[in-house]
Structure 1
Amino acid sequence: MSQRTAAAPDAGPASRPYPDRYASLTVEDRRTFAERGYLLVRGALDEPLRRRVEQAVDRVYAGEERAGRLGASGAMHVLGGVFRDEAFTELLDLPTTFPFVWGQLGWNIYVHHSHLDVNPPVAADEPPAWQWHQDGYRQNADLDMEPRPMFSLKVAYVLSDLSEPGRGGTLVVPGSQRRNTLERTEPRPDGRYPRPPGTVEITAQPGDAFVFDRRLWHSRSANLSDVTRKMVFLCYTYRWIRWRDDVSINRHGDWWRGLSPLRRQLLGDGDEAASHFGFTLESGVWDDAIPLRSELKSRGLLDRSHHYLR
C-alpha cells in the first residue's frame, strides 16, 4: 500500500483501492482525508462491475424517461437510488472503497441517502447559478459550532469518462470542511459566478471513485462536452440519524433475504430502537450482534485510539 497512482494535476490526491473490505486505513490516507476532505480512489470498479452498474443506471434512466420525470435537458437525479436495482447492492460494502467508510465513521453506520445522476451535455448559455453547498441540510443550521461534526461521508462512483475538465466533474475546495461558510464570489457582468479561490475539479476515469466529507464545500459543474456524465452516490451516516430518502423495504422478499447481514445493516436493518444507538437494552453495553461491529471485533480491528471504533 505504499505506492500511489499519480493523479491528474487538477484531480487531487489519489489512493490505490484497498484489497479487502476489512483492510485498515493507511496513515497516509487518513491524514490526506483529514487535511483535504476528500480522496480519489483509482480503479475502484473493475470493468465488469462498472458495466453492470452503468447498465443499471441506464435501466433506471429509461424508466424515468418513460414516466416523464427527467429534467429539461434530459438530466436525472434519483433519490434512494441504491434500492432501484439489485446491481447497486454490490457497491454497499465494496472491498476497494469500504475501508474508507468504516475507517472514518466506525461500525454503527448505514446508507441513509443515495442518488443516481445522469447529466447529458448542456448548452453553454445555461442560466448561471450559485450551486456551492455542504451536504446535510438542517445539520448545517441546527448545530451552533465551528466546525460542525462530519456526521456522514459520500462515496461517488464515476461511470463515465470524466478525465478532462468541462465534463460536469465535481468541484471542491480542499480543506473547506473545516469552515462553516464559503464566501460567495461576485458575479461577472454576464451573471456567472467565478469559482471560489482554490477550487479543484475532480477529474476521473470510468471506474474511479472519490470519497468526501459531507462538510466539504462542493458543486457540480456544467457538462459542456459530448460525454454524458453518469454517477452513483452512496452517503453513509450513523444509524441514529434518520433516513434522508423515502424508501420502502420488503423484508420478506427474496432479494432482502438473500442479502448478507452486513448489507442488511447498511440498508437500515435493526432489531430494536436501541440497536441504532449501538447497544442493547438488556445489557446496556455495545451490541456485538451488529454485523459490522462483529466482523471488526473478530478481526481485532476495534481500536480505542479512534473513539468511533471502540
Structure 2
Amino acid sequence: MLEPVVKPGEFTELDRFMFESWGYFVIPNVLSPEEVAACLEASQRLHADQPKKVSHQVGEGYASEPALERLIDHPAAMPKVRGLYGSDNIILQSAWCTVQPAGGKHGGWHQDGSSAFDFKLLGHPIPLLQLRVSYLLTDQSEPGKGNMEMIPGSHRSRVPMPDSVRKGTEDCPLRHVVCAPAGSALVFHNAVWHRSHEHNHDYDRYTMHYIYSPPWLRYSDRFENDTELMNRTTPLRRGILGDFAKPDSTYAGGYRTPPYEE
C-alpha cells in the first residue's frame, strides 16, 4: 500500500501536492524513544481516573504535562502547519489525548468539525479549519493496533459517504490503514473521512492530537488558557495558544503574529 510519507521540518511543494491529493501525510519518527516514553507516561497520568473499558479523550493535557507542552510547536510539524495554512496567524484550537483500550473495536467514520455548525455548510470543498497533528505514542506499524483509517482524497469529494459505509453495514475498499511506528506524526485535513481501526493487542493505544485553526475559531478544549501555563511557557507558545496583545479588541487594527523567528 502506498504511504504518503514526508520528511520532518521544512514544508515543500511536494508536501503540498501530497496533502492536496490525499488530505493527509505521515512524518515518521519525529519523537525520540525518550520523548515517546515521557509523552506516554504523561498521557497515562491524564487518563488515570478515566474509564478503562471504552475509548476516551482528555483535553488541555499540555497545561499540566511539560512533555505534552513541548509538542505545541514541535519543529518537525510546525513548519508543515504554517505552510499548509499559508499563514503564521494560527492558534492551537484544542489538543486531545485519546486512548483506545486493549481489544477495542473500530470507531465510526466521520469528518472533523463542529456539531454546532457543520463545516460542509461553509462551501465546497470543505475549507481547512482544523489541521490535526496526531503523535502516535504506541506502536502502529502494522494494522490492528488502533491505527487511523483514512479515505484518501475524501476531503474533495462532492458526495457524502454512503450511509451503508458510515453505519458499518458495508466496507469501503478505498480505506487506508495508516501504519507508522510510535513517535511518528499524522497530519490531516478536517474534511478527510476517518475512523480508528480495531486494536487487537493487550495494551492500551495512546495518541496525542493537536488541532490548529485560524485565530478567530473558538477554543474547544478550554474556555480560557491556564494562567500558570501562560506565565511559564515561551512567547511563541503563548502566541500559538492565542495570547492576544490588544485587550480592547482581538483583531481591530491588526493581529500580532506569534514570534516564530525569535
**When the two structures are superposed, what TM-score results if normalisation uses the length of structure 1?**
0.76
Q: Distance in 1 between matches of 2:196 and 2:157?
A: 20
Q: Distance in 2 between matches of 1:225 and 1:257?
A: 41
Query: Aligned match of 2:90 in 104, 109, 114?
Result: 109
- Is residue 17 from structure 1 mapped to residue 8 from structure 2 by the alignment? yes
2:234 is aligned to: 260
Q: 5 Å matches for 1:1-310? A: 9=1, 12-18=3-9, 23=10, 25-62=11-48, 64=49, 69-70=50-51, 73-105=53-85, 106-122=87-103, 131-137=108-114, 138-140=116-118, 143-179=121-157, 181-185=160-164, 192-251=168-227, 253=228, 255-272=229-246, 276-277=250-251, 281=253, 286-287=254-255, 289-292=256-259, 295=261
The structure that has the greater radius of gyration is 1
Conserved? CA contact 1:156–1:211, under 8 Å: yes
Q: In the TM superposition, what is the alpha-carbon distance from 1:194 to its structure 2 partner? A: 3.4
Q: Distance in 2 between matches of 1:52 and 1:108?
A: 30
Partner AA of 1:101 in structure 2: V
SS in structure 1 of the partner of residue 172 of structure 2? coil
Q: In the TM superposition, what is the alpha-carbon distance from 1:211 to its structure 2 partner? A: 0.2
Q: In the TM superposition, what is the alpha-carbon distance from 1:104 to its structure 2 partner? A: 1.0
Q: In the TM superposition, what is the alpha-carbon distance from 1:49 to its structure 2 partner? A: 1.3
Q: In the TM superposition, what is the alpha-carbon distance from 1:153 to its structure 2 partner? A: 0.5
When structure 1 is superposed on structure 2, of 107-116 and 223-232 the one drifting more is: 223-232
Deviations 1:183-240 (A, max 9, x none): 23369xxx95333231001111011111000111111122122342111000000111
Unaligned runs of 5+ in 1: 1-8, 299-310
- CA gap of 1:192–1:102, structure 2 versus 1, over 3 A, is closer
> Aligned-residue CA RMSD in angstroms?
2.5
Q: Distance in 2 between matches of 1:30 and 1:276?
A: 30
Q: In the TM superposition, what is the alpha-carbon distance from 1:99 to its structure 2 partner? A: 0.9
SS in structure 1 of the partner of residue 181 of structure 2? coil
SS in structure 2 of the partner of residue 14 of structure 1? coil
Q: In the TM superposition, what is the alpha-carbon distance from 1:85 to its structure 2 partner? A: 1.6
Conserved? CA contact 1:60–1:84, under 8 Å: no
SS in structure 2 of the partner of residue 53 of structure 1? helix
SS in structure 2 of the partner of residue 185 of structure 1? helix
Q: Distance in 1 between matches of 2:161 and 2:233?
A: 41
Unaligned runs of 5+ in 2: none
Partner AA of 2:68 in structure 1: F
Q: Distance in 2 between matches of 1:155 and 1:186?
A: 26
Identity level (%): 27
Q: In the TM superposition, what is the alpha-carbon distance from 1:260 to its structure 2 partner? A: 1.5
Deviations 1:248-289 (A, max 9, x none): 4343x3x42231111001122112378754xx52xxxx54x4
Conserved? CA contact 1:16–1:43, under 8 Å: no
Q: Distance in 2 between matches of 1:115 and 1:160?
A: 16
Q: Distance in 2 between matches of 1:276 and 1:216?
A: 31
Structure ranking higher on relative contact order (CA contacts 8 Å, 6+ apart): 2
Q: Distance in 2 between matches of 1:110 and 1:101?
A: 10
Q: In the TM superposition, what is the alpha-carbon distance from 1:247 to its structure 2 partner? A: 4.2
